[in-house]
Amino acid sequence: MSKERSVGILGTGRYLPERVLTNADLEKMVDTSDEWIVSRTGISERHIAREDQASSDLAFEAASRALETSGVAAEDLDLIIITTVTPDMFFPSTACIVQEKLGAKKAAAFDLSAACSGFLYGASVATQFIKSGMYRYVLVVGVESLSKITDYTDRSTCVLFGDGAGAAVIGPVEDGMGFLSFDLGADGSGAESLKLPAGGSRKPLSKVEPGSRDNFLYMSGNEVFKFAVRVMGSACDRVLEKAGLTKEDVDFLVPHQANIRIIDSAMRRLGLSEDKVVVNLNRYGNMSSASIPVALDEAVSEGRIKEGDTLVLVGFGGGLTWGATAIKWSTKEKGRE
What is the distance between the alpha carbons of residues 260 and 266, in angstroms, rounded to a whole number? 10
What is the distance between the alpha carbons of residues 83 and 94, in angstroms, rounded to a whole number? 9
Is 286 catalytic? The answer is yes
Within this chain, domains 6-176 and 180-328 share the same CATH topology:
yes
pLDDT(1) > 50: no
The tens digit of pLDDT for each residue in 109-121 reads 999 999 999 999 9
Residue 255 to residues 77, 131, 270: CA-CA distances in angstroms?
27, 25, 12
What is the distance between the alpha carbons of residues 330 and 210, in angstroms, rounded to a whole number? 53
Is 158 catalytic? The answer is no
Whether cis (ω within 30° of 0) applies to the bond prior to 320 is yes
Residue 12 phi/psi, 5° resolution? -130, 165
Alpha helices in the chain (DSSP H): 23-27, 34-41, 55-70, 94-102, 118-131, 221-243, 260-270, 281-284, 291-301
Per-domain residue ranges of the chain: 6-176, 180-328
The tens digit of pLDDT for each residue in 285-322 reads 999 999 999 999 999 999 999 999 999 999 999 999 99
What is the distance between the alpha carbons of residues 315 and 115, in angstroms, rounded to a whole number? 10
Catalytic residue among 23, 47, 96, 116: 116
Catalytic residue among 23, 96, 236, 286: 286
Query: What's the pLDDT score for residue 4?
Result: 82
Identify the CATH homologous superfamily for domain 180-328: Thiolase/Chalcone synthase (3.40.47.10)
The tens digit of pLDDT for each residue in 139-197 reads 999 999 999 999 999 999 999 999 999 999 999 999 999 999 999 999 999 999 999 99
Q: Which CATH architecture has domain 6-176?
A: 3-Layer(aba) Sandwich (3.40)
